[in-house]
Amino acid sequence: MAKWSANWSAARLLRLVLAVLFAAVALREGEPVAWVAAALLGLQVLFNVGCCGAACSAPTVNRKGAQAVDEVHYEEVK
């Protein structure tokens, strides 16, 4: 249970609210597009993903002991 309740960001909460709203509209109106939107947003909330597949650029994790970047020297070309 702790695994499912951890890492709740504002974006994940927003997706949850939108999924519930789309599901309510889908139940009330019977709109197929609302069903698809509710399912898509619900899956994003469930699996804690925010991008489509590997298309998102996740920030890299800084690792301890990583080598520092050497200073770059530029030469002026005339």
Q: Which amino acid belongs to residue 76?
A: E
User: Would you kindly state where each structural domain of the chain is located, as residue ranges?
Assistant: 9-51
Predicted model pTM = 0.61
Cα dihedral value 64, 66, 67, 70, nearest 10: -100
At 1-48, the pLDDT tens digits run: 676 667 778 888 899 999 999 999 999 999 999 999 999 999 988 888
Give the pLDDT of residue 48.
Answer: 80
What's the CA gap between 50 and 47, in Å, rounded?
9
